[in-house]
Amino acid sequence: MKFTLESQDPNCKARTGTLQTAHGAIETPVFMPVGTVGTVKGVHQHELKDDINAQIILGNTYHLYLRPGTDILEKAGGLHKFNGWDRPILTDSGGFQVFSLAHRRKIKEEGATFASHIDGSKHLFTPENVMDIQRKIGADIIMAFDECTPYPCEYKYAKRSMHMTHRWLKRCWTRFNETEPIHGYEQALFPIVQGSVFKDLRKQSAEVISQYDSVGNAIGGLSVGEPHPDMYEMTDIVTDILPKEKPRYLMGVGTPTNLLECIALGIDMFDCVLPTRNARHGLIYTSEGTINIKNAKWKADFSPLDINASNPTSQFYTKAYVRHLFQAKELLGPQITSIHNLSFFLWLTGEARKHIAAGDFLAWKNQMVVKLDRRL
RNA sequence: GGGGGUGCGCCGGAGUUGGAGAGCCGGGCCAGACUGUAAAUCUGGUGACUUCGUCUGAGUAGGUUCGAUUCCUACCACCCCCA
């Protein structure tokens, strides 16, 4: 697996590149739709590919391990074969569930014990078995097992947690290198920077992570409730340290504005549930601002959902019709808005890529962010 | 035409069988939240007004009573039975 840096914006840290994987190339900056349990909720694989041209999607180790189970995925020949998505896949390790399911787990040096949210059964996740599970799932990019710390977080806890994540990373790295891919193609392990919102911890973590001979690196523990200036400051500090020639993945980010600001800070890869979750809840993103399609003001608005959208679905259906679908609780409503929002996020990162290559990214970004956070 | 029954907030239900209602449950409607997905979820509002409060309110109009959603009278509407 190889990352090629292609262009670098002269006015900021934004850059473009291509990550070559066994399931195809990923052009960065890239937004990766989240498909936790092997499906991007409400969106067909052929829609992701043909209608909105997603380059890579996510899966989640914790969720896929619990259901359908590692044995099924291994028998299926890996997640690509199981769900029919033949482009690249990245699996998160379950580190986020250490955060989001905090009340159902216990952390020890050995690993994290979870009480399944499905049936309460107990499961121990260790750096070693998380690597083994991700080998069986067969994602192209797999993530180190970490602890995503909450916000706010005491300095002492953040420090202790960061050091444990580093020790877990070392064990992940060892296990990963002791094992071979099961499904016949190369996998890459991305380490994760932690350190909460503390500058010295973020620096220290970025330096530790930089020492690994990885294909790419990730930044975790952000977009967990901290103010945006903190998120940007931490990202800025870390991208100054992480190697330039490797892709940087900012985990769980974010809003359209977050994406553009963090691209300017040197981030290449993003994933976030916002476009799909908010789509199911009736919030759609456009280049002019956001729209709550459930609002009464759209009742008789027969203009397209988004006339400027880069996919046919958003141009075909009207606001009034999509609002009606939401009012009637029809499944087609969230399906349409999910396609629309993902299309918008992919368009946004694609445009960023063009503007970086053209050398006018910063000016374009600054005029975009003014509009993106408006509510229409 | 005769007899019986039932009437409150956008809708349905519960409850009050003389003693504190702008009040319970569900739905609808109107908004808001959502960042490596326990999320097609969650939260709030939904009589009026000059809104830390005040006023009006149990089909309509009267009456009895210290006090009426409750009892009485008339009328109206709907439902059931008989002709």
- Side chain identity at residue A161, one-letter code: S
Q: What is the per-residue pLDDT for A154?
A: 96
Q: What is the per-residue pLDDT for A126?
A: 98
Q: What is the per-residue pLDDT for A135?
A: 98
Domain A2-273 bears CATH identifier 3.20.20.105 = yes
CA distances from A269 to A16, A46, A135, A146, A284 (A): 11, 22, 22, 18, 22
CA–C1' gap, A41 and B73, in angstroms: 66
User: Exposure pattern of A210-237 as b/e (b: 16+ CB <10 Å)?
Assistant: bebebbbbbbbbbbbebeeeebbbbbbb
Question: Residue A343 is inside which H or E element, if any?
Answer: helix A332-358
How does pLDDT run across A136-145, given as a tens digit for each residue?
999 999 999 9
Q: Tell me which nucleotides of strand B come within 7 A of a protein CB.
A: 28-42
**Of residues A11, A50, A126, A34, the one with CA closest to residue A89:** A34
Beta carbons of A147 and A155 less than 8 angstroms apart: no
Q: Answer yes or no: A92 catalytic.
A: yes
| Tokens at A101, concatenated | 């399911």
Question: Residue A57 is inside which H or E element, if any?
Answer: strand A57-60
- Domain-wise residue ranges, chain A: 2-273
pLDDT along chain A (376 residues), means of 10: 97 98 98 98 97 97 98 97 98 96 96 96 97 98 98 97 98 98 98 98 98 98 97 98 98 98 98 98 97 96 93 96 97 98 98 98 97 95
Q: What is the per-residue pLDDT for A50?
A: 96
How does pLDDT run across A91-107, given as a tens digit for each residue?
999 999 999 999 999 99
CA–C1' gap, A365 and B78, in angstroms: 65
**Is A278 near strand B, with its CB below 7 A from some atom of it?**
yes
CA distances from A112 to A95, A96, A99, A155, A323 (A): 9, 12, 11, 21, 43
CA distances from A228 to A63, A255, A257, A283 (A): 29, 10, 10, 21
Which nucleotide's C1' sits nearest to the alpha carbon of A257? B35
CA distance A253 to A158: 20
Q: Answer yes or no: A9 catalytic.
A: no
CA distance A230 to A240: 16
- Among candidate residues A9, A51, A92, A140, the one labeled active-site is A92
Which nucleotide's C1' sits nearest to the alpha carbon of A253? B35
CA distance A274 to A261: 17
Which nucleotide's C1' sits nearest to the alpha carbon of A192? B36
**Is A229 near strand B, with its CB below 7 A from some atom of it?**
no
How does pLDDT run across A1-47, given as a tens digit for each residue?
999 999 999 999 999 999 999 999 999 999 999 999 999 999 999 99
Our CA dihedral for A9, A15, A16, A19, rounded to 10 degrees, sits at: 160
CA–C1' gap, A224 and B72, in angstroms: 68
Beta carbons of A256 and A224 less than 8 angstroms apart: no
CA distance A182 to A185: 8
Q: Are strands A30-33 and A24-28 parallel, antiparallel or unpaired?
A: unpaired
ipTM for the whole complex: 0.94
Instruction: Determine the longest span between alpha carbons in chain A, in angstroms.
Output: 62
Which nucleotide's C1' sits nearest to the alpha carbon of A61? B36
Our CA dihedral for A99, A189, A215, A91, rounded to 10 degrees, sits at: -60
